[in-house]
Amino acid sequence: MRFTRRDAVVGGLIGTLASQSTMAWAQSLLAPTGQETFGPFYPVRGPRGHELDLTHFPGRPGHALGEVMVLSGRVTDRTGKPLPGAKITLWQANAAGRYTNPVDTNPAPIDPNFLGVVDFESGPDGSYKVRTIKPGPYPEPSGTIRTPHIHFDVSHADYRLVTQMYFPGEPLNETDILLSTLAARRRNPANAICKPVASEEPGVLGFQFDIVLLA
Protein backbone atom coordinates (compact mmCIF):
# COMPACT_ATOMS: atom_id res chain seq x y z
CA MET A 1 0.00 0.00 0.00
CA ARG A 2 1.44 3.33 -1.09
CA PHE A 3 1.68 6.07 1.56
CA THR A 4 1.30 9.53 -0.04
CA ARG A 5 2.05 13.04 1.11
CA ARG A 6 -1.70 13.67 1.33
CA ASP A 7 -1.98 10.74 3.73
CA ALA A 8 0.72 12.32 5.87
CA VAL A 9 -1.05 15.69 5.91
CA VAL A 10 -4.41 14.12 6.79
CA GLY A 11 -2.79 11.98 9.45
CA GLY A 12 -1.06 15.00 10.91
CA LEU A 13 -4.30 16.97 10.94
CA ILE A 14 -6.14 14.15 12.68
CA GLY A 15 -3.35 13.89 15.24
CA THR A 16 -3.46 17.65 15.88
CA LEU A 17 -7.23 17.64 16.31
CA ALA A 18 -7.01 14.67 18.68
CA SER A 19 -4.31 16.44 20.68
CA GLN A 20 -6.36 19.63 20.87
CA SER A 21 -9.41 17.65 21.95
CA THR A 22 -7.40 15.94 24.68
CA MET A 23 -6.04 19.28 25.88
CA ALA A 24 -9.53 20.82 25.93
CA TRP A 25 -10.83 17.85 27.95
CA ALA A 26 -7.95 18.13 30.41
CA GLN A 27 -8.54 21.86 30.85
CA SER A 28 -12.23 21.26 31.54
CA LEU A 29 -11.46 19.01 34.52
CA LEU A 30 -11.87 20.40 38.02
CA ALA A 31 -8.68 21.20 39.88
CA PRO A 32 -8.08 18.61 42.61
CA THR A 33 -8.08 19.75 46.21
CA GLY A 34 -4.44 19.92 47.30
CA GLN A 35 -2.75 17.67 49.80
CA GLU A 36 -1.57 19.16 53.10
CA THR A 37 0.00 18.05 56.34
CA PHE A 38 -1.92 16.18 59.04
CA GLY A 39 -0.64 18.70 61.55
CA PRO A 40 0.33 17.91 65.15
CA PHE A 41 -3.26 17.73 66.41
CA TYR A 42 -4.66 14.94 64.24
CA PRO A 43 -7.17 13.11 66.46
CA VAL A 44 -6.05 9.71 67.70
CA ARG A 45 -9.62 8.52 67.25
CA GLY A 46 -12.87 10.13 66.30
CA PRO A 47 -16.03 10.06 68.40
CA ARG A 48 -18.47 7.23 68.00
CA GLY A 49 -22.10 7.97 67.14
CA HIS A 50 -21.65 11.74 67.28
CA GLU A 51 -24.19 13.84 65.38
CA LEU A 52 -23.07 16.25 62.68
CA ASP A 53 -23.52 19.13 65.12
CA LEU A 54 -20.33 19.99 66.96
CA THR A 55 -21.87 22.94 68.79
CA HIS A 56 -22.88 20.73 71.70
CA PHE A 57 -21.19 17.84 73.46
CA PRO A 58 -23.29 14.65 73.60
CA GLY A 59 -24.88 14.25 77.01
CA ARG A 60 -24.10 17.78 78.18
CA PRO A 61 -26.61 20.64 78.45
CA GLY A 62 -24.33 23.50 77.37
CA HIS A 63 -23.40 24.79 73.93
CA ALA A 64 -20.00 25.65 72.48
CA LEU A 65 -18.76 29.23 72.57
CA GLY A 66 -18.14 31.20 69.39
CA GLU A 67 -19.76 31.93 66.05
CA VAL A 68 -21.99 29.08 64.92
CA MET A 69 -21.53 28.11 61.27
CA VAL A 70 -22.93 25.55 58.88
CA LEU A 71 -20.37 24.09 56.50
CA SER A 72 -21.61 22.20 53.46
CA GLY A 73 -20.20 20.94 50.18
CA ARG A 74 -19.79 18.01 47.83
CA VAL A 75 -17.12 15.39 47.30
CA THR A 76 -16.55 14.73 43.58
CA ASP A 77 -13.96 13.47 41.12
CA ARG A 78 -12.33 15.82 38.61
CA THR A 79 -15.20 15.47 36.13
CA GLY A 80 -17.68 16.63 38.77
CA LYS A 81 -19.10 13.16 39.33
CA PRO A 82 -20.35 12.81 42.93
CA LEU A 83 -18.47 10.38 45.16
CA PRO A 84 -20.97 8.92 47.65
CA GLY A 85 -19.77 7.14 50.75
CA ALA A 86 -16.47 9.02 51.00
CA LYS A 87 -15.19 8.62 54.57
CA ILE A 88 -14.45 12.01 56.16
CA THR A 89 -12.84 13.01 59.43
CA LEU A 90 -13.09 16.71 60.28
CA TRP A 91 -11.18 18.29 63.15
CA GLN A 92 -10.51 21.86 64.25
CA ALA A 93 -9.66 24.24 67.07
CA ASN A 94 -12.39 25.82 69.17
CA ALA A 95 -13.29 29.52 69.05
CA ALA A 96 -10.33 30.34 71.31
CA GLY A 97 -7.86 28.48 69.07
CA ARG A 98 -7.44 25.38 71.26
CA TYR A 99 -7.66 21.75 70.13
CA THR A 100 -9.03 19.05 72.41
CA ASN A 101 -6.00 16.92 71.53
CA PRO A 102 -3.87 16.43 74.69
CA VAL A 103 -0.66 17.37 72.84
CA ASP A 104 -1.95 20.93 72.35
CA THR A 105 -0.21 23.06 75.00
CA ASN A 106 -1.76 26.35 73.88
CA PRO A 107 -2.80 28.19 77.09
CA ALA A 108 -6.12 29.18 75.49
CA PRO A 109 -9.08 27.59 77.32
CA ILE A 110 -10.60 24.26 76.36
CA ASP A 111 -14.32 24.50 75.63
CA PRO A 112 -15.98 21.64 77.57
CA ASN A 113 -18.98 21.81 75.23
CA PHE A 114 -16.99 21.50 72.01
CA LEU A 115 -15.64 18.13 70.89
CA GLY A 116 -13.85 19.45 67.81
CA VAL A 117 -13.77 16.23 65.76
CA VAL A 118 -16.33 14.17 63.88
CA ASP A 119 -16.39 11.18 61.50
CA PHE A 120 -19.02 10.87 58.77
CA GLU A 121 -19.58 9.89 55.13
CA SER A 122 -20.68 11.85 52.08
CA GLY A 123 -24.29 11.26 50.99
CA PRO A 124 -25.63 9.58 47.82
CA ASP A 125 -25.02 12.78 45.86
CA GLY A 126 -21.56 13.31 47.39
CA SER A 127 -22.84 16.04 49.70
CA TYR A 128 -22.11 16.70 53.36
CA LYS A 129 -23.24 19.24 55.96
CA VAL A 130 -21.76 19.94 59.39
CA ARG A 131 -22.84 22.43 62.05
CA THR A 132 -19.87 23.70 64.01
CA ILE A 133 -18.07 26.75 65.43
CA LYS A 134 -15.79 29.02 63.44
CA PRO A 135 -12.29 28.16 64.74
CA GLY A 136 -10.01 30.78 66.21
CA PRO A 137 -6.34 31.49 65.32
CA TYR A 138 -3.55 30.04 67.45
CA PRO A 139 0.26 30.22 67.84
CA GLU A 140 2.39 27.53 66.20
CA PRO A 141 5.95 26.40 67.08
CA SER A 142 7.79 28.68 64.61
CA GLY A 143 6.38 31.71 66.40
CA THR A 144 3.75 32.77 63.86
CA ILE A 145 -0.01 32.71 64.29
CA ARG A 146 -2.07 30.27 62.24
CA THR A 147 -5.10 31.71 60.53
CA PRO A 148 -8.49 30.06 61.23
CA HIS A 149 -8.81 26.77 59.35
CA ILE A 150 -10.49 23.35 59.41
CA HIS A 151 -8.78 20.01 58.72
CA PHE A 152 -10.18 17.24 56.51
CA ASP A 153 -9.10 13.63 56.05
CA VAL A 154 -11.07 12.17 53.11
CA SER A 155 -10.86 8.63 51.73
CA HIS A 156 -12.64 7.10 48.74
CA ALA A 157 -11.68 3.82 47.04
CA ASP A 158 -7.85 3.80 46.98
CA TYR A 159 -7.37 7.57 47.25
CA ARG A 160 -6.81 9.53 50.45
CA LEU A 161 -6.73 13.31 50.79
CA VAL A 162 -5.57 15.26 53.82
CA THR A 163 -6.20 18.97 53.44
CA GLN A 164 -7.02 22.22 55.22
CA MET A 165 -9.83 24.65 54.49
CA TYR A 166 -9.45 28.39 55.04
CA PHE A 167 -11.85 31.32 55.35
CA PRO A 168 -12.01 34.32 53.01
CA GLY A 169 -11.01 37.79 54.19
CA GLU A 170 -9.13 36.70 57.32
CA PRO A 171 -6.37 39.21 58.30
CA LEU A 172 -3.92 36.38 59.07
CA ASN A 173 -4.33 34.68 55.68
CA GLU A 174 -1.43 36.61 54.12
CA THR A 175 1.05 35.57 56.81
CA ASP A 176 -0.14 32.05 57.63
CA ILE A 177 2.76 29.60 57.43
CA LEU A 178 0.86 27.29 55.07
CA LEU A 179 -1.77 29.39 53.30
CA SER A 180 0.71 32.13 52.33
CA THR A 181 2.87 29.55 50.52
CA LEU A 182 0.08 27.77 48.62
CA ALA A 183 0.73 29.66 45.39
CA ALA A 184 4.23 28.19 45.28
CA ARG A 185 3.05 24.67 46.15
CA ARG A 186 -0.30 24.33 44.37
CA ARG A 187 -1.63 25.01 40.93
CA ASN A 188 -4.96 26.34 42.21
CA PRO A 189 -4.55 27.73 45.75
CA ALA A 190 -7.97 29.42 45.56
CA ASN A 191 -9.78 26.09 46.02
CA ALA A 192 -8.42 25.92 49.58
CA ILE A 193 -10.72 28.78 50.62
CA CYS A 194 -14.39 28.19 51.35
CA LYS A 195 -17.16 30.35 49.91
CA PRO A 196 -19.68 32.29 51.99
CA VAL A 197 -23.25 31.14 51.33
CA ALA A 198 -26.65 32.06 52.71
CA SER A 199 -27.62 30.26 55.90
CA GLU A 200 -31.09 28.95 56.63
CA GLU A 201 -30.66 29.90 60.29
CA PRO A 202 -30.74 33.56 61.42
CA GLY A 203 -27.45 34.63 62.97
CA VAL A 204 -25.60 31.54 61.73
CA LEU A 205 -22.74 31.77 59.25
CA GLY A 206 -22.85 29.69 56.07
CA PHE A 207 -19.88 28.40 54.08
CA GLN A 208 -19.40 25.98 51.19
CA PHE A 209 -16.31 23.86 50.61
CA ASP A 210 -16.30 21.40 47.72
CA ILE A 211 -13.68 18.65 47.76
CA VAL A 212 -12.29 17.29 44.50
CA LEU A 213 -10.47 13.94 44.62
CA LEU A 214 -8.18 12.40 42.01
CA ALA A 215 -10.08 9.12 42.43
Q: What is the pLDDT along the chain (215 residues), one digit of tens a residue?
A: 666 666 555 455 555 444 444 444 445 799 999 999 888 888 866 665 567 999 988 788 899 999 999 999 999 999 999 999 999 999 999 999 999 888 899 999 999 999 899 999 999 999 999 999 999 999 988 889 999 999 999 999 989 999 999 999 999 999 999 999 988 877 677 889 999 999 988 999 999 999 999 86
Q: Specify whether 7 is located in the same domain as 58.
A: no
Q: Specify whether 24 is located in the same domain as 39.
A: no
Q: How far apart are CA 158 and CA 86, in angstroms?
A: 11
Catalytic residue among 74, 98, 128, 146: 146
Give the pLDDT of residue 175.
Answer: 94
Q: Specify whether 13 is located in the same domain as 38.
A: no
Give the pLDDT of residue 111.
Answer: 94
Give the number of domains in the chain. Answer: 2
Give the pLDDT of residue 20.
Answer: 40
Give the pLDDT of residue 26.
Answer: 45
Any catalytic annotation for residue 156? no
Q: Which structural domain range is residue 13 located in?
A: 1-29
In contact, 104 and 136? CB cutoff 8 Å: no
Q: Specify whether 77 is located in the same domain as 91.
A: yes
Give, as one character, the DSSP assignment of residue 175: T
Q: Specify whether 107 is located in the same domain as 21.
A: no
Catalytic residue among 74, 99, 156, 166: 99
Q: Specify whether 23 is located in the same domain as 124.
A: no
Catalytic residue among 98, 151, 156, 166: 151
Q: Specify whether 79 is located in the same domain as 164.
A: yes
Q: Specify whether 121 is located in the same domain as 20.
A: no
- Beta strand 195-196 with 205-208 is antiparallel
Helix H or strand E segment including 27: helix 5-28
Give the pLDDT of residue 1.
Answer: 61
Any catalytic annotation for residue 99? yes
Any catalytic annotation for residue 74? no
Any catalytic annotation for residue 131? no
Give the pLDDT of residue 195.
Answer: 97
Q: Specify whether 90 is located in the same domain as 24.
A: no
Q: Specify whether 13 is located in the same domain as 47.
A: no
Q: Specify whether 15 is located in the same domain as 117.
A: no
Give the pLDDT of residue 7.
Answer: 55
Q: Looking at residue 116, which CATH number applies to its domain? A: 2.60.130.10
Give the pLDDT of residue 50.
Answer: 61
* CB neighbourhood size of 87 (10 A): 14
Q: Specify whether 141 is located in the same domain as 65.
A: yes
Catalytic residue among 128, 149, 156, 166: 149
Any catalytic annotation for residue 159? no
CA distances from 102 to 12, 98, 198 (A): 64, 10, 35
Give the pLDDT of residue 44.
Answer: 66
